[in-house]
Amino acid sequence: MARVLSRDPVDIENILALNPRKQTHATLHSTAAKKQVKKQWKRNSDKSCSNCEKLENNFDDIKHTTLSERGALREAMRCLKCADAPCQKSCPTNLDIKSFITSIANKNYYGAAKMILSDNPLGLTCGMVCPTSELCVGGCNLYATEEGPINIGGLQQFATEVFKAMNIPQIRNPSLPPLEDMPEAYHVKIALLGAGPASLSCASFLARLGYSNITIFEKQEYAGGLSTSEIPQFRLPYDVVNFEAELMKDLGVKIIFSKGLAMHGMTLRTLKEDGYEAVFIGIGLPEPNRDSIFQGLRMDQGFYTSKDFLPLVAMASKPGMCACHSPLPSIHGTVIVLGAGDTAFDCATSALRCGARRVFVVFRKGFTNIRAVPEEMELAKEEKCEFLPFLSPRKVVLRGGQIVAMEFVRTEQDNEGNWKEDEDQVVRLKADVVISAFGSVLSDNKVREAMTPIKFNRWGLPEVDLETMQTSEPWVFAGGDIGGLANTTVESVNDGKQASWYMHRYIQSLHGIAVSTVPELPLFYTPIDLVDISVEMAGLKFPNPFGLASATPTTSSSMIRRAFEAGWGFAVTKTFSLDKDIVTNVSPRIVRGITSGPMYGPGQGSFLNIELISEKTAAYWCKSVAELKADFPNHILIASIMCSYSREDWTELSKMAEVAGADALELNLSCPHGMGERGMGLACGQDPELVRNICRWVRQAVQIPFFAKLTPNVTDIVNIAMAAREGGADGVTATNTVSGLMGLKADSTPWPAVGGGLRTTYGGVSGNAIRPIALRAVSAIARALPGFPILATGGIDSAESGLQFLHSGASVLQVCSAIQNQDFTVIDDYCTGLRALLYLKSIEELEDWNGQSPATMRHQKGKPVPRIADLMGKKLPSFGPYLEQRKKIIAENKLKLKEQSIAAALPEKKHFFPKKPIPAIKQLNSLPVPVAGLNSSPSLFSTLLLRRVGQHSSNQKKHSRSLRLQRCNLGQNLPSRM
């Protein structure tokens, strides 16, 4: 029997059976059957603890906030980019969060990292361990939505991790003189005690200010302080801390290990005698707060404080932290952890990784009083730690010198809110190990004596001015835990940042130099920031290739002023005309597009506008041009003008703009709505002959360069560009908006709808939706007219999209919709992004990157996925019973690795440097985009087709040209479609 051609083979049909099918009836499956089936497909963990995952020696990342590139981009797009962002106000270091999220959304990961590290030198550490739910995330306006707040910590971690992979050094502020030319005050000796977050931050900012003789003294053999010794590897790997310390050392800061306060005779007095003019104390609180019931208990009996236990875990699990090769603490049986702070939960989750069978977290108050952030508590809960509230420790029970149990009494809260212990309610819990996490203190008398002569407060800590971070001795500053106010890593970082400015002011005052009362701490810089992105085109020098298009962002000259202050390289004024052609705009006239679906807020994929040209007079714009050029002589200002098809009008208006001081002109021959009915804009720009004539008139009238702004609403834009060049234009702008109708409501009402009659017109579509059209236009013109300047516009919303246009043949780039989506400050993101893209092109080690995107690893939820095939020789799915098998295989492998000693040191850091010249922007657009088929002979079919289309269109062209001439001559009398 012959095979039926309209059916696929059986094996293909079997595969296609998985495709969706139209439902014709309700399905029926028994509850018993569904209970069994669901087990085969589950991806989340089973709640039953009988199958608990073995975590011993598993220090892989467990943070919920970790993101892959895909996850980071989707999360960044959700951000509202609030103008007065509450997240920034909630961040101790005052990170410009909306700006770094904007950079991530634009795939400018270097720009995001630069923004983060400029305000927080420990930006990667804080991205991993910050209690964001209590800080920035707690203030996010999206907390009030169904989707929830932005994962700010995860985005911060992602951006700084990508920068870490770039392996690029930090450099001094490029505006500073060379080290040898710095004033004497910048060569004084500065000491920082302790290499924790506060000191690393303080030293980084002092080095950025220009100080060259900075030394950190650290009593341990590693940097990072408590971030290294007390935050577990699965939350904060040591190579992260080391990366940030190396960035600081790039600026010349020295770290001397195994030397600290009260060690080898070091005191504040000896530092003064050794010539140190300023000292920062950032030693933390090194001793545990030990309850009296634990006096005399030792680790070999089963008792640890958090300051005993966590450093032992860290040294055994953090590669590169030290060369000690120490094993993990031997924990077995049942563990009780006392406390309700972040440290207590770190102890609990670490105990599981040291072999504990069960872990109980016991605390005096209720769940609503837990001091730990929800993220920490949730992680411990997921790992099957048990929580026991309302219990206060009373007694440790020993048998044979070993801990076997603990006794507690019940705590209760009275009506006045006071907590009381009820001695009649006694609870006894069996335990093999007890870990106390009751906080830290400064109790070492030798350390206190070494800090003489500074004064101490009633809590036994140095008296510190909370604004300047100065102690009772003006030359001594303190911050972090020892300052008495910082409770988190990020707050310690901010203490160091705050102290650095006031240390700078103090040191300069010693040398008789006045310093601004307004803090001016330098930003973070790398060699990327030295890349030249200036452009020369048509005899004009552009500071950077990004400028404002003639559109809503240039509605007034005050807006252009703000744009120049923000850093835009050039601007094209809103199109203006002679007074006789002045217009009045309607409202509403700009609406969001529907191309992105039901997405609101910033990040709109398109807009539609029915806005006409400027309502302001030519005199207003000419005066504005003169003012702006006087204040911003190095910025390029282009006057956009429009007239009807009249030589006298074009001559008069172009001369007015030239006399006003405009650097160049843009001839608007392309406005797709409203102006065509007046015989202007599109009515002139669709005919090569009219374009050629207008360009000739302007060329004869002025000496400055001018560019014809082209419309995409033509059959062949190249013909229009050729006509402009033949008419004497110095270049073209490609392209204006695409004519379109954005949408209709269910009752057929158009949007936008104007007036009581709810009328509309075909408007101009802009934004990302028209980028493919604009790219095609730019590349086609560049191929047909090599070397002819092109000002590209149409969907440029990032450095990455701008680079696409530059590769396509554009000379400079005009932006509009992206500014409507956000604000003028996006220029900083565009410039840093373009510099980074150009710089990374020259680094051979990153050749497998796509722009700023590293190669994608195998991952789930942003975390690397082990290759089970490498461990057992075959693949396994990641769901149902296979998921449990995968976990078991990974757990067994971790136990095998436990017997092997971890690497004693991190690999030697070697920065990546360019091994070939960094490309200039001019080189990018010198080679047109290769288009398939353009250089090959057309087929017979396409030849015949082109002939037939050509014969048909030639007749239409003659007819449409005569109509356009009539409209240009009589256009002012034609009715608008409004």
Angle between helices 826-840 and 557-566 (to 10 degrees): 40
Rounded CA separation 209/116 (Å): 18
Contact of 629 with 664, CB cutoff 8 Å? no
Q: Is 429 exposed, middle or buried (0-12, 13-18, 19+ CB in 10 A)?
A: middle
Instruction: Show the tokens assigned to 230.
Output: 């007390």
Q: Cα–Cα distance between 792 and 810 in angstroms, integer?
A: 6
Structure tokens at 510: 């010693």
How far, in Å, CA of 155 to CA of 148, rounded? 15
How far apart (Å, rounded) are the C-alpha atoms in residues 961 and 684? 10
| Inter-residue contact 695 to 669 (CB < 8 Å) | no
Residue 646 CB: number of other CB atoms within 10 A? 18
Question: Quick check: 206 and 190 in contact, CB under 8 A?
Answer: yes
Residues 6+ apart with CB under 8 A from 273: none
Q: Is 27 helix (H, G, I), strand (E, B) or coil?
A: coil
Q: List the beta strands (DSSP E) in 210-333.
A: 214-218, 254-257, 276-281, 287-288, 303-305
Q: Which of 130, 385, 671, 968 is catalytic?
A: 671
480 sits in the region (left: phi over 0; alpha: psi -120 to 50; else beta) called: left
Distance of alpha carbon 834 from the chain centroid: 15
Compute the distance between CA of residue 463 and CA of residue 460 in angstroms, rounded to an integer.
Answer: 9
- Give the whole-angstrom CA distance, residue 398 versus residue 298: 12
| Sign (positive or negative) of CA dihedral 106, 111, 117, 123 | positive
Tokens 């059957």 sit at which residue?
A: 33
Strands 546-548 and 812-815: parallel
| Residue 813: strand, helix, or coil | strand
The rounded distance, in Å, linking the Cα atoms of 526 and 929 is: 32
> In sequence order, which residues have a C-beta less than 8 Å from that of residue 144 and are 6 or more positions away?
none
Q: How many residues does the chain have?
A: 978
Distance, CA of 781 to CA of 774 (rounded, Å): 11
What are the CA-CA distances from residue 432 to residues 133, 410, 672, 749, 973 (Å)?
34, 22, 80, 75, 96
The DSSP H or E segment spanning 36 is helix 31-39
CB of 736 within 8 A of CB of 709? yes
In the block, residue with structure tokens 């700084």: 160
Distance CA 166, CA 524 (A): 15
DSSP percent split of the chain into helix, strand, coil, nearest 5: 40, 15, 45
C-alpha angle with apex 768: 713 to 152, nearest 5 degrees?
Answer: 170
Alpha helices in 130-263 (DSSP H): 152-166, 197-209, 226-229, 238-249
Residue 671 annotated to the active site: yes
Return the HEC string of 628-663.
HHHHCCCCEEEEEECCCCCHHHHHHHHHHHHHHCCC
What six digits make up the tokens of 69? Answer: 């590139």
Distance CA 153, CA 132 (A): 6
CA angle 246, 247, 252 (to 5 degrees): 80
Compute the distance between CA of residue 562 and CA of residue 825 in angstroms, rounded to an integer: 10
Residues with catalytic roles: 671
